[in-house]
Amino acid sequence: MDQPRLGLRRHMSLRQLEVFEAIARLGSFTRAAHALHLTQPTVSMQIKKLSDAVGLPLFEQVGKRIYLTEAGQALHASCREMFDTLDRFEMTAANMMGLTQGRLRLAVVTTAKYFAPRLLGGFCERFPGVDASLKVTNRERVLERLQENQDDLYIFGQPPAEVEVEAVSFLRNPLVALGPVGHPLAGRARVPLAEFVGYPFLAREPGSGTRRALERVLNEHGLELNVRMELGSNEAIKQSVAAGMGVSVLSQHTLVGGAHDVCLLDVEGFPIERQWYVVYPKGKQLSVAARAFQDYLLAEGSQIADAAGTARPNPRDRKALRRGKAK
């Protein structure tokens, strides 16, 4: 290595080169400052330091335009090579860390099946090398899996209190009151909670998070469910409500794709506002794929789930539901 190159490396920084490359590419200090979220004085200062390190001017101004000097052009070519090399290294490192070859094991509570496959699908499209698996079961079982550390990440409607966990919310999960079309409460406004729970109720199984959330609200009001039948599936409940067997409370996500022959009931205290949480045991070292999936959920989860119409019934259904009519 000869001395001058060593000196240059010691005095210039990657950040300066990044700023320089942006100006050369965008043809303007202002546009580069904007693109890099920097102030213009910061950009000018970085370029001044870089020219000082190189020992030659890098830009020249003719009229209102700026041009690369000969030294600037040579540096620009070197910069592009360096950044390409760094990009390739980044890919190699990601490979090593598992983003292109990793594994993601996700376990979710029953109701999350209405949006979790779509979220996972979007993620796998972006990272085709990640081998993903999805386990869907009720809250109690998902909790067991978490306690046994069987998966990378979990989705719950309520972070478990039984274990120390890290939990972050990423999506709304409103619980709505449902009845069959033509039910005496259909079309009435602000039905008292006590009146609603006086009707035969189709309940999720005791291990269900939906059921727990509802029972908590009822407990606060000193009320109890009048359970006519217990069913372990949201779909079975919807069908039974439609068949006129009773009323129920389900996550609004279950109405995706239409809710035939059921209508939303306007009951006091509804919708019960909840959130979906991405959860993992405290202290667990997340894999790169798991961390990337968590970031993706937080950044884009609600948008992707909403695009599927899962956070609310689609407008046509909503109108029919409001009028208490089937589609």
Judged by CB under 6 A, which of 16, 46, 51, 158 binds ligand PGA?
A: 158
Tokens found for residue 78: 């070197």
Give min distance, CB of 164 to ligand PGA, in A.
19
- What would the x/- binding string for ligand PGA be over residues 178 to 207, using CB under 6 A? --------------------------x---
Question: Contact with ligand PGA (CB under 6 A): which of 16, 46, 51, 210?
Answer: 210
Is the Cα torsion angle 187, 189, 190, 195 positive or negative in sign?
Answer: negative
Nearest to ligand PGA of 15, 145 (CB atom): 145
Note whether 251 and 234 are within 8 A (CB): yes
Q: In whole angstroms, how close is the CB of 186 to ligand PGA at the nearest point?
A: 24
Chosen residue from 208, 252, 294, 310 binding ligand PGA by CB under 6 A: 208
Site string for ligand PGA, 111-130 (x = CB under 6 A): x-------------------
Identity of residue 201: F
Question: What is the torsional sign of CA 168, 127, 302, 147?
Answer: negative
Rounded to whole angstroms, the Cα distance separating 28 from 95 reads 36
- Which amino acid, one-letter code, is at 10? R
Q: Could you identify the residue written with the tokens 């005496």?
A: 184
Strand partners of residue 263? 179
Of the listed pieces 105-113, 126-134, 164-172, 291-299, which binds ligand PGA according to CB under 6 A? Answer: 105-113
Nearest distance in Å: CB 204, ligand PGA: 5
Identify residues 262-321 at the interface with ligand PGA (CB under 6 A): none
Note the residue count of the chain: 327
Q: How far is CA 99 from CA 105, 299, 327, in A?
A: 13, 17, 44
Residues 226-245 that bind ligand PGA (CB under 6 A): none
How far is residue 124 from each of residues 118, 131, 292, measured CA to CA in Å? 10, 8, 11
- The CA distance from 121 to 126, in Å, is 9
Binding pattern for the stretch 44-83 against ligand PGA, x by CB under 6 A and - elsewhere: ----------------------------------------
Give contact residues for ligand PGA (rule: CB under 6 A).
Answer: 109-111, 138-139, 156-158, 173, 204, 208-210, 251
